[in-house]
Amino acid sequence: MNLFDRPVQLLMHDDGRHWTVLQELHYLTAAGEMIVIPAGYVTDFATIPRFLWWLLPPTGRYEYAALVHDRLYGMHNRQRLECDRLFLAAMKASGVVFWQRWAIYWGVRAGGWAFWGH
Summarize pLDDT for 52-110 with one digit per residue, the tens: 889 998 888 999 999 999 999 999 899 999 999 999 999 998 899 999 999 999 999 99
CB 117 within 8 A of CB 89: no
Helix (H) or strand (E) holding 98: helix 98-111
SS3 assignment, position 85: helix
The count of other CB atoms within 10 Å of the CB of residue 29 is 14
**pTM of the entire structure?**
0.88
What is the chain's mean pLDDT, rounded?
A: 90
pLDDT at 30: 86
pLDDT at 90: 92
Give 32-59 as a DSSP string. S-EEEE-TT-EE-SS---GGGTTTS-SS
Distance CA 81, CA 54 (A): 27
Looking at the chain, how many residues does it have?
118
